[in-house]
Amino acid sequence: MTAERLAILAEGLFVDHHAKTAHGVIRYGQREVVAVVDSTQAGRKANDVVPFCDRPVPIVASIGEAAGMGANVLVVGVAPTGGRLDDAWQPALLEGIAHGMDLEAGLHSLLADDPELSDAARAKGVGLRDLRATPSDLDVPRQPGERRAGLRVVHTVGSDVVAGKKVAALELDRSARERGLSSAFVATGQTGVAISGWGIAVDHVISDYVAGAGERLVDEGSTRGELLFVEGQGAILHPAYSAVTLGLLHGCAPDAIVLTHIAGASSLRNYPSLAIPPLKELISLYEGLAAPIRPARVAAIAVNTSALDEDGARRSIASIEDSCDLVADDVVRFGAERLLDAVLAALGKSEAKPSGAQ
């Protein structure tokens, strides 16, 4: 089987937050990334333009250049608001097919449903991979909150969208595995699926079955590890995405919760008139919503300080710790060790270590 060599399509948007799929695949994925396609950043490398990215992936101006470098899969690296296929991408996708590349995307508009792409892919003999395509046999949960003894589930939730829920879960899982723990990351979104190679993009699931999808993911995750880090979706007070947040919270029924928050954020993304409440209130809300299914407390706070310098980041983290009386840290900037210690302590795990000072 030919090894996959990825080109990531992020034309004009690689430095934008909408390119989170591109950033996630480059930072955490196991597949080789040959190039990023973004003519506005051509000639640079990914680690030059994306904070905390340590992989020097070249950025090129065209699909043809990426193909010439050996790319055989073209990944749509952008997740626009609403998740729909942009008509402006069609020529690039068709060009990728013409160069013999498989296409991979995590959009609500499925590649396989596009007649032009499907016909071109069939004629060229390449594949179309839709990361948001979901199992056809999903249902409501069987036994919410019930699972075998010894399995522990940690769920990352957010004060807002794009707060770092996936990143926190990935970094905590990596830190746990480095300690020798039987840990697994559970992907619940298209980028997570692209990174890990398995999971369900729960925001593409019929709303009645989101909790059932969460339960199924925990079941499958239990074959991969004893400590599961389930990435969150949306935010409980975000009017666009709160439904999937609650369904996933009830479906995965966590034993502990990690709240993610963007340092200094005061209002919800896309809804500037809607304020983010004080974090202590938000913590109580998440714990209250989890309690009827399986009681879980917020064990720690993962703070996204990417917009701050290091001194500002440390001040923000210290302020959040003081106001919430919980361990807080930026898992990318300063590592996940202190948060993992807090999570293991909340779970009653003997592997916990003293957290130490920030």
Window from 139-148, 152-161, 247-256, 313-322 with minimum mean pLDDT: 139-148
Per-residue pLDDT, averaged over 252-257, amounts to: 98
Under 8 Å between Cβ of 245 and 211: no
Q: What percent of the chain has pLDDT over 90?
A: 87
Asked whether the predicted pLDDT for residue 358 surpasses 60, the reply is no
Q: Can you list the positions of beta strands (E) in the chain?
A: 5-9, 32-37, 59-60, 73-76, 102-105, 128-130, 152-158, 183-186, 227-230, 256-262, 267-268, 271-275, 297-304, 327-329
Q: What is the per-residue pLDDT for 176?
A: 98
> In which band, very low, low, confident or very high, does the pLDDT at 65 lie, cut at 50, 70 and 90?
very high
Per-residue pLDDT, averaged over 28-39, amounts to: 95
Domains of the chain in start order, with CATH, are 5-130 (3.40.50.720), 152-347 (3.40.50.300)
Q: What is the per-residue pLDDT for 126?
A: 97
**Which token pair is 48?**
């030059």
> Mean pLDDT for the chain?
94
In DSSP terms, 102 is beta-bridged to 73
> In which band, very low, low, confident or very high, does the pLDDT at 52 lie, cut at 50, 70 and 90?
confident
Q: What is the per-residue pLDDT for 306?
A: 92
Q: What is the per-residue pLDDT for 349?
A: 66
Phi, psi of 156 (to 5 degrees): -90, 130
Per-residue pLDDT, averaged over 49-61, amounts to: 88
Nearest to 68 by CA among 76, 57, 60: 60
Under 8 Å between Cβ of 79 and 102: no
Q: What is the per-residue pLDDT for 357?
A: 36
Asked whether the predicted pLDDT for residue 353 surpasses 50, the reply is no
Q: Fill in the amino acid letter for 123.
A: A
Per-residue pLDDT, averaged over 273-297, amounts to: 98
Per-residue pLDDT, averaged over 294-323, amounts to: 97
Asked whether the predicted pLDDT for residue 194 surpasses 50, the reply is yes
**Distant-in-sequence, close-in-space partners of 60: CB < 8 Å, separation ≥ 6:** 35, 36, 37, 42, 66, 69
Q: What percent of the chain has pLDDT over 70?
A: 96
Q: What is the per-residue pLDDT for 354?
A: 39
Asked whether the predicted pLDDT for residue 326 surpasses 90, the reply is yes
Q: What is the per-residue pLDDT for 82?
A: 65
Helix (H, G, I), strand (E, B) or coil at 46: helix
